[in-house]
Amino acid sequence: MPRTITIFALAGCSLAMAQAHGALEGYASLNGGTTGGQGGQVVYASTGTEINQAMCSRPADDTPLIIYVTGTINHGNTSKVSGSCDTTDSEIQFKRVSNLSLIGTGQGALFDQIGIHLREASNIIIRNIHVRNVKKSGSPLSNGGDAIGMESDVSNVWIDHNELEASGGESDGYDALIDMKATTRYVTVSYNYLHHSGRGGLIGSSDSDTDNGFVTFHHNRYEDIDSRLPLLRHGTVHAYNNYYNGISKSGMNPRIGGQIKAENNVFENAQNPIGTFYTDDMGFWDLSGNIFTNVTWLDNDTNHPAGPSLVSTASIDIPYSYQLDDSDCVKDLVLATAGVNTGLGESDGACGSQPGDGDNGGDPGDGGDNGGDDGSGGDPGSNLSLGAGSDGSSKGSGSYGDVRDGDLASYWSPSGTSGRISIKWSSATSVGKVIIKEAAGFEGRIQGWTLVNNDTGAVLASGNGAGSISFAPVSLQKINFNIQSASATPAVAEFETYAH
């Protein structure tokens, strides 16, 4: 007879809270929620060193920060940066930090042979990043061979719309795509493309590693992975609306009391997709609505598959609300939305897809597909600065046109630490949002600023630091960004304007 397992929400969480986070579903919506760097400074990085500098330049290790990444991050451009944060030159390490978002832009962000490591960290979002071929043996070495690894008091992490891959298994020098251990809790893994790896990942590194769990996997695409989807010890996992193709050894593997609720997933070309494997220390499963095509179930002394009879051994209650897609839609839906540069596409609840809500979304200046960087959500529309005119108070470097050419490599600098840069149109234009992007290597220099309607002299907004600025839409022909102070000569790569 199946046992009943009730998982209670902690720290004052509720179903309403889960719904309020929009695109974020799952356990990461509980325990206070996961917002990453929402509301914080926005910086842009194209090297690992710049990512480390951005983390170490914050006023405090919990000051909210959004880091947009473009280009290839590798060992050659990653160096250790000193400060209150703890960085390395062999991985991108979030250690003893919180309130961070690491987001790839629409121009692409590839972490080539260099992994992402979370340790003693909380409230972290990783989106639209491609990580490949991270090694634990051979060369170069990084992150114990994990694409993303979490350990030692990690909580509230959202891993969304990434691509994680390896070129083989442990004998080839690789470990896992996502590992969680040593008290890692309240994690959501959604809309990722994970492929060509010996190991998907584990939750709990040994039978004595008992304090992990509360992990949600939904709308992920798994292709050609041997095992560990996931390997689960002791903890609780909710897996729904995932697509698995090509499991060569074993898939979901709850053991030694681990429990998994698996709903409306699709398995194709798989061996032992669900059960307790390689041990007699049994786990538990609660199964409903899953589709199995060309699946083999192998039962022996240490393999205890859930099929082919597919009888649940537990009844698991989930403490958050979530949108469950029909099983027949899952394969096509996941193929259309999972992975990088999909516009953060997600289910529309009716067997179709829609752009993501932009909550800590992708690059706000890539045409609007990925939403805004301030957590406000919604498609900001087209960048109105493209095709407009521009002028300013002075030119220390570059030209005024460099802030409206869509090229982050070109920029304007004033002749000093203050100055004005403006966007102008030949006729009245409605503007309700501005995004100021600092040039690579100049991040964090802009301090005090005002945004002014040049037509009337009205101050539309004021603040500190570059990033996204939203205000009540106003019709104007010229808008001024006045840099009042900076820590050193600033450089504006793009002055983007949007209708809303």
From 58, 127, 132, 228, the catalytic residue: 228
Phi, psi angle pair for 24, to nearest 5°: -80, 115
Specify the pairing of strand 419-438 against strand 467-483.
antiparallel
- CB 9 within 8 Å of CB 28: no
Q: How far is CA 22 from CA 14, 78, 245, 348, 361, in A?
A: 14, 34, 29, 12, 12
Q: How far is CA 249 from CA 192, 199, 462, in A?
A: 21, 10, 58
Specify the pairing of strand 130-132 against strand 284-288.
unpaired
User: Among this protein's residues, is 221 annotated catalytic?
Assistant: no
Q: Which of 280, 329, 331 is nearest to 302 (CA)?
A: 280
Question: Could you give the maximum distance between any two Cα atoms of the chain, in Å?
Answer: 80
Question: Which sequence positions are flagged as catalytic?
Answer: 228
